Structure 1
């Protein structure tokens, strides 16, 4: 089965520009497919709604109005509490927050579209947006959370991606399995399963979980996985034991006895097998106590262990701080040569 058809390309090899109309204006999508711009021309009183921060430039005659709609329901469901409204006449340039494409979906008033986390970019007038629960099982394992956004009406819905966007039309009964980190928008039904086995195995992390879509309907898939990108960025910021390392944190235990640990590593200057290891620990059941630790650890020449370890290997020093007695800019000094501290 082929994904889509041949893509139109311009002489420079990028995807072809896309143009279209919506009630109150018209649009052009260019500079595709990972540095995409959405150009919108609004007629008098024509409107377009977008996520905050999407505007790159606009002509002075456009009226811009931001709205903050606070509600406990939106706070709980994760729905947007703010949006920006642009009213014509005039022209506006929009761009996504990360490198990716923008797709215009023309809603006909009959089809309901579901958009995953981070996929909504904007919409024309005539479309309604709702936040819906997709059930606890899908919330945990789909990667989209407990609530997703659904769109109905007549107009144009703009979605965005990380990387390029692949469109797939499914016929009645046709199925497609999609990795749970690559969903953008869909009209099909789907179920969650573990790739190659039972969903129960490895369910705690979501690793290896996929979404099985069944047609009829349409699916938009992004070519890059946001979670994988975050992990890659974090990994590239980590260096060897001769340089400063980054900060990690972890929460262990269950309420009311949870422990939150912040940890970071610093190389021991001139010592290829040694690095400094610091932790700050907060205890939920001891609200007035903050525990600071210095651990002198060795790695045999390898880079420092990544992640919160709560390890006590090697000499260590512990400093307890009572939050009620702390003054502003309290400093604790660890003398890693003498094995003492002061503060």
Structure 2
């Protein structure tokens, strides 16, 4: 799969170019259009007010799928070569090739979340991962021994060689490892982080949802 973007950074759209018979998974509500002949197969049933993933499969001549985030913002593609993975915030996936695997119970998360399912998933394999960014995208490259603290709501992804520590923002406030509420993340390099300048929760409140 090849990814071409347009209307970035404010209203990003990603065009997924598929080889003959190639499949990609994306949220069904993210689809804008497809070339004629692309087969769409929903995975499960949509609940009230929520979308479901769908598998888009190109025909014998290939095809394309246009997808876009629910909120104004950028789209960003991470290409994985199988040698390393990325830790990605749940809900930020826009599309993923069938050759990639997502694991919410990756052993590297045990020091962050214990036995619970946290607000991150780990992506491994070979292929492309398209992320939806709320607002503009910032890339932070940490040198060895360099540190940064990030609000989980503004975190999009980080390379899995980056060291991460989760702690409470305030001992008296509510905290949730499932959403990141009341928590902050400390990162140590070397590694790469992707952050977003807005948060989906704040954007939804601003739009009156």
TM-score, normalised via structure 1 length: 0.50
TM-superposed deviation, 1:115: 0.8
Q: Which residue of 1 aligns with 2:81?
A: 108
Tell me which of 171, 184, 203 is aligned to 2:173. 203
* Higher Rg: 1
SS in 1 for 2:153: coil
Q: Aligned residue for 2:140? A: 168
Higher RCO, 1 vs 2 (CA within 8 Å, ≥6 residues apart): 2
Over the aligned positions, Cα root-mean-square deviation in angstroms equals: 2.8
TM, length-normalised to structure 2: 0.79
Q: 1:230–1:67: structure 2 CA closer, same or farther, 3 Å change rule?
A: closer
- Conserved in 1, the CA contact under 8 Å of 2:104 and 2:118? no
SS of the residue 2:90 aligns to: coil
1:235-271 superposed Cα distances (whole Å, 9 cap, x missing partner): xx9xxxxxxxxxxxxxxxxxxxxxxxxxxxxxxxxxx
Q: Is structure 2 residue 163 aligned with structure 1 residue 189?
A: yes
Give the distance between the partners of 1:57 and 1:158, measured in 2 at CA: 17
> Which segments of 5 or more consecutive residues in structure 1 lack a partner in the other structure?
1-21, 70-80, 140-144, 238-343
- Please say if 1:122 is aligned against 2:92: no
1:223 aligns with 2:193: no
Residue 90 of structure 1: aligned partner: 63
2:206 and 2:43 map into 1 onto residues whose CA distance is: 35
Give CA-to-partner distance per residue, 1:197-218, whole Å, 9 cap, x none. Answer: xx42x332655x4211111211
- Residue 176 of structure 1 and its aligned partner are, at CA, apart by 1.2
Residues 85-131 of structure 1 show CA distances to partners (whole Å, capped at 9, x for unaligned) of: 11122122111111121101010101111111321111123211222
After the TM superposition, which segments of 4 or more aligned residues of structure 1 sit over 4 Å from their partners? 135-139, 230-234
Query: Is the contact made by 1:56 and 1:95 (CA closer than 8 Å) also made in structure 2?
Result: yes
* Counterpart in the other structure of 2:23: 47
